Chains A and B, each alone.
Chain A
Amino acid sequence: MRARSIRTTGAVAAAAALAVAASACSSPDDGKGSDGAKDSAVVGIAYEPETLSPLLGYGKDGNSKIFDGLLTHDADMKLRPALAAKLPKVSDDGKTYTYELRKGVKFSDGKPFSAKDVVFTYETILDKKTNNASKTELDALKSVEAKGSDGVVFHLKYPYAPFAERTVLPIAPEHIAGKQDVNKGDFSTKPVGTGPYELVKWSRGEKIVFKANPGYWGGAPKIKNFTMAIIKDDDVRATRLRTGDLDGAILPPNLAKTFESDGQKKTYAAKTFDYRVVTLPTGNKVAGSTAVRRALDIGVDRKAMVDSILEGAGKEAYGPVPTDSPWFTKGTERKFDAAKAKKILDDAGWKPGKGGIREKDGVQASFPLWYLTGDKLRQDHALAYASDAKKLGIKVEVQSGTWEVIEPRMAKDAVLAGGGSPADPDFDQYTLLKSSLAGDGFNNMAHYDNAKVDKALEDARESGDRAERGAAYDTVQRELVKNPGYTFLTHIDHLYVVNESFGDLSTQVEPHDHGLASGPWWNVEDWQPKK
């Protein structure tokens, strides 16, 4: 090889590299529609989905932009028909759900949507070979069948009142997804659905770009281009919002505050079911003691946590159900009362010992509390909890670790956990409190075991009657006062800062999971931008 040929090779390589860069050129978009109103929006989010395929779990809680479910939620989280023409008919025994489908709906590739797509979607998710980590949520479902091209019937294994809430999950087209391996086919990066937006491009770790689906059955969206930039770092997100690169972003309370005086931006605080909780495992001699649990339950200052850690953006939590939810049992709020907490411990025989730490039968009132490394909010909660506990004479040793470190210790050590699912009280409470699910993955982390609660949870999920269900959840919440297996601390508001040029926006009640559909852009397809 002579020097000349080396030079030539180098030039070819460089030219090839530039050709890669230059491919896919097209005219840039200035973001303005013909009528002068801004028709594009760019928002900054902190998390990225693992996949965009509903068959692998994307959009299971509804509102997935590219897809529609049979049902969807409105601003108040009430179920509304989407791909179904109306809400389902439920049989008297609560085991059969019948849906009539909307007619004339097309996937964005122009192919018609029909009952076979619904059957395909549910059957694929239930298939053991499908790597869907959320399939447990469809545990109640036995089978699904098509009735003609516009009817679908779901058969359940047991009566399950909140089942309709599960049918918000997105429907995938059989004519595309059915022709490939669901676990690794390109449907998970190039999805096609019936939703208000189509995917233009997903650049992993950088952004997800959508364009409006002109043929959307609900009407073409006014926001034609919608981009979600994935920016993990809070400060970088705030900076890019300030420079005008972003039109909106989710921000932690301290950074959201810096936009208060900015006249061009509005701050939205979304109410959530997102709780922070300390698990008190029954396998721990101290945390498993009812007296210790009750003392901690009234001896921690939740109000102070809301004010100092959340800067007021949140509220005190007494269970998975937030105090402003219709499912909350009035009167189960716990007043902060350190003196009463100490008395409970005294009466139960936990006497002050060395260094002010209480003891009983030679056991020191002390247990470890783990939080996820790097999660500032959880760290703050854990430290505040330990500091309040210390005043009662209980030593809580705060430690941090990854889930790999924490998980094997969950049966004995306390964990600062988070969760929350607004759609139905069953979703949180059953997995959190049912004794048979103790230690099953991350379900019932505290190994909580209470026969009355078990019975109430079963009654609540089987009954289709709102009043009966409400009574059962009242029982659960009252039992949690007598024997709390967890110390619920706060429900956290999610804060979003958005350009005011998009007009007055709204937010939905949000879950713990920061899904793509959270935030004021939950209904971006309905936005009416100002001129």
Chain B
Amino acid sequence: MARLVGRRAVFAVPVLLVVTFGVFAVAEASPFDPVKAYAGTAGLTASQENLDQLRANLGVDKPLVGRWWDWLTSALTGDLGDSSTLRQPVADAIGERIGWSVLLAATAFVLAILLGSALGVLAARRPGGWLDRGITSLAYTLEAAPPFWLGLLVMWLFALKLDVLPAGGLTDTASTTVTFDQVTSHLILPAAVLAISQLPWFVLYVRQGVGDALGDDPVRGARARGLAERTVLLKHAFRSGLLPVLTLVGSRVPELITGALLVETVFSWPGIAAATVGAATSVDFPLLAALTALATAAVLLGNLLADLLYGLADPRVGFDG
């Protein structure tokens, strides 16, 4: 197990190098000018001399490889550089936002797992029954629905038509403080949308796993011994049927990140999504590189987690595979 973790950690280094360099290269090739982006509206009246000075101060006139190397070496010493669009250190910029993104993603993930397992078990009880058919087709429909579209739909229904939940933001516009109640009510819609977009995979995996387990010998034996249906379903079938779901948890991470970015945008959630989009269109190299490295690390960790869980759940699979 330790060897697997160690090997993955070593493998992560070249991946992160390639990905961050790719970010610098793509940004370099983009038509956006970081100096114009920095200056904003003032850039429209600034003299060329002023703009040239800004270019030198921001260090964006250096060649691509040098700039990447500077970023990398200082990042290794713990200095992630300064975001030009946000006018603050990258570490602060990410620190202020990532908590809200984690809160959103974690809530949605827990919701998706709980709800997905419950629906999956319900569907597996009577394969081919009306409940199974209903849940399965709902899962396939949701699988095809983009979170962006879902977001607009629930916002229209709950915020505009029914006016029961806020349409966006972290707190009410007039509120000056961040309170638990406010955050909770503002979290409901975005977390629900994100959870729903993740839901189908869990439903279908649990349904399959539990359904298979119900046909296995131990379960048939338990039934023959006259145990209650409830006990059979939850104690025997659900336990073994849940194993494949554990591996799914890790592999859903990339999808969760991209889904969260879209949902944050729709609901003006103050996570890292807006910063990511802003960093990309303003060629804010330090912020963009740090965010990309962060997302890459999350995906690698997710994959590692999936493999570890799989190994734990099924002893026949070693950690060296």
Contact = CB atoms under 8 A, between A and B. Distances in A.
Given A26-B177, A31-B174, A128-B53, A17 B106 contact: yes
Contacts of A203: 170, 270
Contact of B176 (A132, A134, A186, A200): A200
A246 B58 contact: no
A183 B57 contact: yes
A126 B92 CA distance: 28
B184 to A, nearest CB: 8
Given A25-B177, A42-B174, A441-B47, A17 B88 contact: no
A6 B102 CA distance: 18
B280 interface: no
Contact of B103 (A21, A29, A136, A513): A21
Interface in B40-75: 40-51, 53-54, 57-58
Contacts of B106: 13-14, 17
A137 B99 CA distance: 41
A13 B173 CA distance: 29
Interface residues of A, number: 69
B268 A206 contact: yes
Interface string A237-273: 0011001011000000000000000000000000000
A204 B86 contact: yes
A404 B270 contact: no
Interface stretch (A49-57, A291-299, A474-482): A49-57
A25 B274 contact: no
Given A211-B176, A440-B48, A21 B268 contact: no
A56 B87 CA distance: 10
A227 B270 contact: no
Contact of B33 (A21, A28, A137, A404): A404
A29 B312 CA distance: 51
B57 A129 contact: yes
A249 B319 CA distance: 60
B180 A25 contact: yes
B308 A1 contact: yes
B179 interface: yes
A289 to B, nearest CB: 27
Contacts, number: 161
Contact of B173 (A128, A229, A442): A229
Contact of B163 (A25, A131, A209, A243): A243
Interface residues of B, number: 62
A146 B148 CA distance: 57
Nearest to B159: A243
Contacts of A1: 1, 308, 312
A20 B99 contact: yes
Interface in B1-57: 1, 31-33, 36, 38-51, 53-54, 57
Contacts of B45: 134, 136-137, 419, 431, 441-443
B176 A209 contact: yes
A21 B177 CA distance: 11
B173 A245 contact: yes
B176 A227 contact: yes
B171 to A, nearest CB: 9
A50 B40 contact: yes
> 5 shortest A-B CB distances, which residue pairs?
A133-B39, A133-B42, A20-B99, A17-B103, A184-B82
Interface of B: 1, 31-33, 36, 38-51, 53-54, 57-58, 82, 85-89, 92, 99-100, 102-103, 106-107, 110, 160, 163, 167, 169-170, 172-180, 182-184, 187, 268, 270, 274-275, 308-309, 312
22 contacts: A1-B312, A20-B99, A21-B178, A21-B183, A25-B177, A26-B177, A28-B175, A29-B176, A31-B174, A53-B87, A133-B51, A139-B47, A184-B82, A184-B88, A189-B87, A204-B274, A227-B176, A245-B173, A404-B33, A441-B47, A441-B51, A442-B44
